[in-house]
Structure formats: structure tokens, C-alpha cells
Structure 1
Amino acid sequence: MAKVTVGLIGLGNIGGGMCQRMLEKGIKVVGFDVSPGAAKTAAGYGAVVEPTLAGVAKNALVIVSSLPNPAIVRDVFLGSGGLIAMARPGTTIIETSTIDPNTIREVAEVAAAAGIEVLDVALSGEPPQALKGELVFQVGGPDALIDKHLALLEVLAKKINRTGDIGSAKTIKLVNNLMSIGNIAVASEAFVLGVKCGMDPQRLYDILSVSGGRSAHFVSAFPNVVQGDYHPGFKTSLALKDLNLILDLAKDEKYATKLAPVITALYREANESGLGEDNFTSVVKGYEAAAGIQIAKK
């Protein structure tokens, strides 16, 4: 792996963590980001930062992308000025953004016509896990292509699940996020009710965290809620972005969701009240306001 040069498009929170991780493992990283701050930070780690996508395409046959939304993924990869048009035949794109399955399928189709292969990757984890190589990867694509790049995937992730065809990893990511975000929304409603009824927040958490209604995100995130800490790992604005992707996916599939629109409305309200940059557990603040209480002790 130390002899490999990896292109990295997107040097923000997750991309920046992956950048550091690869550099620490002796992998040369050639990166690009439209944010001067992110580009400067990555250069400080030791990455070679190119001013254009063309520079990455020229210098790397393996390109990892970590981008904010489907529109940016399309801008980066498709069209006459996109990365696929500039990349060399034989290049592999490892696309890790949280986007809809139709977008990654379109990227893979255009790439295949240009002699470029694509792995559909959905990741679970936050910047600290990216930095430590402790992400979880869902990977869609041919087994032979996954095997070809398994060493790199194992540098970045502690667990790799093979999901099937292109689009399957993005589908799993969105379905999982509906469950995860929904779990936090329900936990927020229930937790505030418990406190409203007179329960001590810490005692309530200690009991619920080992009870049947718990979820992984509740167990890991609600200790901070009890302390009034909403420092972002996964931002409320990103939760809303993912929920909108879920609603779009359901619409495309002509599947009538019933809970997803309610959860989306809660997160839209949280964003509109100025909580977009807080952790996605900030949805609890709407319940606190309605109940006239605060969970965190002053």
C-alpha cells in the first residue's frame, strides 16, 4: 500500500480523516477540495493538494470521493468537465458519499463506457472513526473489484460488508439512516416525557440504555444530551438532507412512507430554529421547549 497513490476528492470532516489515516499508513494522497481551508489543512497533513480535478485524475488510478450531496457528486463526475472525462482508463472510483442509489448507478454507467470501474461505498462513523480507520463500509460492486482494492478498504474501515450490485450500498445507507434518525426522534420524545414526569435525567438514561427500547445512537449520544452538549458529530442539517433523500427514494419507488415525513418535519423544524450546525440529537430541544423543561442540569 505504501507505493500506491490515492486520489481523494473532498477533504472535509470524513474526507480529512481518511486523508490523515492513509498518510499515516504511508499512502501518498493527491487531494482536491473547493474549500481553501480544507485544502490547506490536508496539505498540512502531507497530502499533495491539486488546484483542479484534472490534477487528481492525472496522478491517481484509484480515486476516493467523499462529497456532500448528489448534485455535487454529479458535478464532480459527470459531463465534459467531470472527473470521468479526465480520468485514465483503468481508474477505479471508490465513491463514499451519502447519495441516492440512482446517482451512483448513473456514475457507474458513464464510467464503464470510459473504461473506468466504480465501487459503491456507504460508510458509517464520524470523523474520529475516519481518523482511526474504524469506519464501517458497505460496499457494492463486483467481488473481484472489491478484492482488488481490499487492502485500501481495510486501511479505512474496521469492517467491510459486501452488499451486492451498484446502488445496494447507498440503499442500505439510506434505510439505515431512516432507522437511526427515527430512533433518536422517538428517544427524544420519550426521554423528555420521562423527565417531565419527574425522572432524574441521568437515572433515566442509565436505565433506558440497558432496556429494550435502546438503540446504538441512543446509548452513544444521549449522555451528551444529559450534559447539554450538542457538539456536532453528525449535524442536524445533514440528518435533514438524508431524510429528504429518503423521501425522494420512496417517491421514486412509489412506496408510501408514513413515519418518514413526520420525522423529516421534526428535523426541518429543528433546522429552521437555528439548530442545523448542532448534533442531530438537537431535535430534543423542540420537545424541551414544548414541555417547558430542560434535560441538562445547569
Structure 2
Amino acid sequence: MNEVGLIGLGNIGGGMCKRLLDRGIGVVGFDVSSAAATAAAELGAKIESSPAAVAQQVDIIVTSLPNPAIVRDVYLGGEGLVAKARRGSTLIETSTIDPNTMRHVGEAAAAAGIDILDVALSGEPAQAILGELVFQVGGADELIDRHLDLLQVLAKKINRTGGIGTAKTVKLVNNLMSLGNVAVAAEAFVLGVKCGMEPKRLYDILSVSGGRSAHFVTGFSKVIEDDYRASFKTSLALKDIKLILDLANDEHYPVRLAPVIASLYGDALEQGLGEDNFTSVVKGYETAAGCTLAHNVNRDCGKTRVTK
């Protein structure tokens, strides 16, 4: 583990790069973004011109990529990892993608004599830098054990999910719950403010009540400050919910809430909120209610109620 390959040097990948370097582990990296590659080089990573060039130098490669299509290209293309990685290498795939793509990649790697781990991660760039991510890991226990030292450098908690594809399933199921929690919280919170509750007082009460979620507690403390700086972008939330809908369709499973959640995040994207935090889904409800949740902004929300 003197040197690790890292393909994808964006927000999370860049954080993992810094974490590895801080722990004295060399990084051989690649990213299509020159800015991301330059930032990693300034940290001390060796930057190569392609995934294939990375694969020819190291025996362990971590990938952190934007979507299933790019994962398929990086792994399965003619110059991809399956074709170019050394036999006996281990590929650790951490992107948010569908489990079917993960299984396809895993089967191709196995046929080429290459080991693979299916990893789904939770956390933000700051947590990646500190090695405080949470990993769901699918793959053979022996292979996980062999790479446990590396996984523990990057993550504070590691959950074993089963075979290849299971970690991606857990990730998407969890994200459906998370996105749904925030959407319901947005609808409920604006209703409370519409009925005359002061936002900060309402937040303080709900954040210790039974309906709370982790994302409500952390996210809505910022919403009432009118702070939508992204820890998880609305555009990524919409990407993930579309993956969830595709997965449900592949499994012939008739989801009923997921399409509604998808439409809410789609509306937020159409409002130009794609770069904002995914709690921006609340803004559509604010518009409908004619008020804002920011507790320090003057509003007439509670004065417009109709009494029957």
C-alpha cells in the first residue's frame, strides 16, 4: 500500500487523495478536469494522462466517478481498467451508480483475473479529508480483509453488505429515504410556518421530536439561516433519484413515493437551484406559501391564514 491509484479527483476523490497523502500513501491519479488534476498535483499526487496509465503503475485503484456511463467507460472501454490493469490487481469502485452496472463491471473484472470491491460511501469532502467517511462494502470477505488497512484509512466505519452490487443497492435505498425525509420535512416545516410558527422555535422543537431525521437536524438548521451552500447538490439529488427509479423499474417494483420525490427535485432544478444544497427543495413550498423559512426575514406568512 505504498502507492494507490485514484481515478476521479473531484470533491470526494480529491478529499480521499489528501487523506492518503497525509497518511504517507502515494497517489497516482487521473481526472478529466485539469483543475482537479492540478489541485491533486499541488497536494503531492503524481498525475497521469489516462486511467490506463494509472493502472500500469499500481496494484490498487480507487475510482470515484460521476455516473454509470463514465464508470462503464473507465472500466470497460478499450483503454479501460479491466483491459489495462495488472492481473491480480484490486479495483475499488466508490461511485454512486446502479447495482446492475456494478455487477457487470465485477463480472468483467473477474473474467480478466482482477479483484474488485463494490463500495458505496456516505459523507462530505471534509469527512473524506479526515478519513471519516462511512463505507458500505460488497465483495468477498477475504478480499475485504486483505484491504482493510486501506479502507480504514479512508473510512471511520465499514459495513459489509454481501456480494458485488449490494453496496450500491444499500446506497440507493438509503438515498431514497434521505431525499424523501428532506422533501417531507420541507412540506411539513413550511406548513408549520404558514400556520404562524416562528421558524427557529419550530426547528428547535422538531429537531428533538419523533419526526426528525439526521438530514433535517443538520440541513434545516442552515435553511432557517437562508444558507444553501452545498454539501450535497440538488442536481446530484435528482441524479440519484433517477437511478432509484431506474432500479425500481428494472426490478418491476411499483414505487409510489419516489416519482413524487423526483418531481420535487426536478422542480428545484428548473428553478435554477441545481448548485444549491438539496434542502433547496423547500423553496418551492416557500413560493407556494408566500413566505420564507429564514427566521430573520420579515414575512406575513402567519397573517394570511384563513379561518373557517
What range describes the TM-score normalised by the shorter chain of this pair?
over 0.9
Q: How does 1:139-158 map to 2 (within 5 A)?
A: 139-158=137-156
| Structure 2 unpaired stretches of 5+ | 298-308
Percent of paired sites with the same residue: 72
Size of the aligned set, in residue pairs, is 296
1:256-291 Cα offsets, whole Å, 9 max, x none, are 000000000000010011000000000000000000
> Which residue of structure 2 aligns with residue 163 of structure 1?
161
The CA deviation at 1:221 is 0.9
- Deviation digits for residues 213-263 of structure 1 (CA, Å, limit 9, x no counterpart): 000111111110010000001000000000000000000000000000000
Instruction: Indicate the residue corresponding to 1:290 in structure 2.
Output: 288
The CA distance in 1 between the partners of 2:186 and 2:245, in whole Å, is 22
CA displacement, residues 97-124 of structure 1 (integer Å, 9 cap, x when unaligned): 0000000100011011111011000001
- Name which of 78, 81, 84 aligns with 1:80: 78
Which of 203, 221, 225 is matched with 2:223 structurally? 225
Corresponding letter in the other structure for 2:202: L
1 CA distance for matches of 2:279 and 2:58?
Answer: 39
For the residues of structure 2 that align with 1:242 and 1:7, how far apart are their CA atoms?
Answer: 26
For 1:241 and 1:290, the matched residues in 2 are separated by: 25
Equivalent residue, structure 2, for 1:39: 37
| CA distance in 2 between partners of 1:69 and 1:175 (Å) | 17
Distance in 2, Cα, partners of 1:164 & 1:143:
8
Q: Letter of the aligned partner of 1:171 in structure 2?
A: T
Which SS does the other structure have where 1:210 is aligned?
A: coil
TM-score normalised by L of structure 1: 0.98
CA distance in 2, matches of 1:133, 1:159: 10
Distance 1:30 1:200 in 2: 52
Q: Secondary structure at the match of 1:40?
A: helix
Separation in 1, partners of 2:217, 2:122 = 16
- SS of the equivalent of 1:129 reads helix
Letter of the aligned partner of 1:279 in structure 2?
N
Equivalence map 1:1-298=2 (5 Å)? 1=1, 4-296=2-294, 297-298=296-297
Aligned-partner Cα distance in 2 for 1:200–1:132: 37
Larger Cα Rg: Structure 1 or Structure 2?
Answer: 2
Amino acid at match of 2:291: I
1:79 deviation in Å? 2.7
TM-score normalised by structure 2 residue count: 0.95
- SS across alignment from 2:52: helix
C-alpha distance after superposition, 1:148-201 (max 9, x if no partner): 000000000000000001000000000000000000000000000111111111
The residue matched to 2:119 in structure 1 has which SS? strand
SS state at 2:56 partner: helix
* Runs of 4+ displaced beyond 4 Å: none
Question: Matches of 1:125 and 1:53 in 2, distance apart?
Answer: 25
Q: Deviations over 1:45-91 (max 9, x none)?
A: 10001111122011110000000100000010003121210111011
Shift of 1:202: 0.8
Q: CA RMSD in A?
A: 0.6
Structure 1 letter corresponding to 2:131 = G
